[in-house]
Homo-oligomer: A and B are copies of this chain.
């Protein structure tokens, strides 16, 4: 497409007001002549091919890798993106990490310690389901550490991400933006399906009381940590199909720009073919 999803969803520099972002918008989504939405198709084979080339490049010493970072309120779709978008890549080139409530061991270290341990190796697409940003989101909303501490973390995160970018990591940070009402509907849908009860956590309802605090904390993140080397994208996520398609497009554009190539070692084909002649 001529238009760029990265341009359309990129958060502009400066203060962010999430009220100005419609979670049901569908920027760049194709429509037919009568204005009806077309089916959104992610070209899984094309994405998988790009990823294989990134991996192939790394086997010849290439250092590049991609980090897809997913943040969003509960039920925003971090798991869905992992299943439907990241799932189009093969298991060999993907490293998925869900960052949960920190363990005792993790808490004994700096907040970036567990993050650094899961940075993708060369050739791999790393996926962070939650991330270092929890340390300025839930931690800020519930004052799990004093403001004097969490307020220093924006700068430290920027420095950390700049270092990653400098050593070959292309960072794609997505805020999956849903409305308060959409979250309610999704929680009710979980209650309606006994096979989804295991995903239900009453604490998710408790957290809804802090919705506006989370919005403010996200706005701070989207302003303070929106850098050239690690930009934020706000992905409207009330429509799951649009959300998946948009993140697929962000990854496609990112990988196409990297333009990884299969290494072309200088093989002596005639000699190698001769060595493979059948025994006689």
Binding site for B on A (CB under 8 A): 56, 59-60, 79, 82-83, 86-87, 89-92, 94, 96, 98, 127, 129, 181, 184, 187-188, 191, 194-200, 202, 205, 262-265, 267, 269, 272-273, 275-276, 278
Are the CB atoms of A191 and B273 closer together than 8 Å?
yes
Closest CB of chain B to A3's CB: distance in Å?
29
Q: Which residues of B contact A187 (CB under 8 A)?
A: 276
CA distance in complex: A278, B195 (Å): 24
Q: Which residues of B contact A195 (CB under 8 A)?
A: 262
Partner of A91, one of B59, B94, B188, B205: B94
Which residue on B lies nearest to A194, using beta carbons? Answer: B264
Copy count, this protein chain: 2
CA distance in complex: A127, B199 (Å): 26
Top 9 closest A-B pairs, CB basis?
A: A198-B263, A91-B96, A83-B90, A195-B262, A56-B198, A86-B91, A205-B275, A198-B262, A87-B90
CA distance in complex: A127, B195 (Å): 27
A79 with B92, Cβ < 8 A, contacts A187-B276, A273-B191, A276-B188 known: yes
Closest CB of chain B to A192's CB: distance in Å?
9
Closest CB of chain B to A85's CB: distance in Å?
10
Are the CB atoms of B79 and A83 closer together than 8 Å?
no
Are the CB atoms of B91 and A91 closer together than 8 Å?
yes
A188 with B273, Cβ < 8 A, contacts A91-B82, A91-B83, A198-B262 known: yes
- 8 A-B pairs (CB sep. < 8 Å): A56-B199, A60-B198, A82-B91, A91-B127, A92-B98, A191-B272, A197-B265, A200-B272
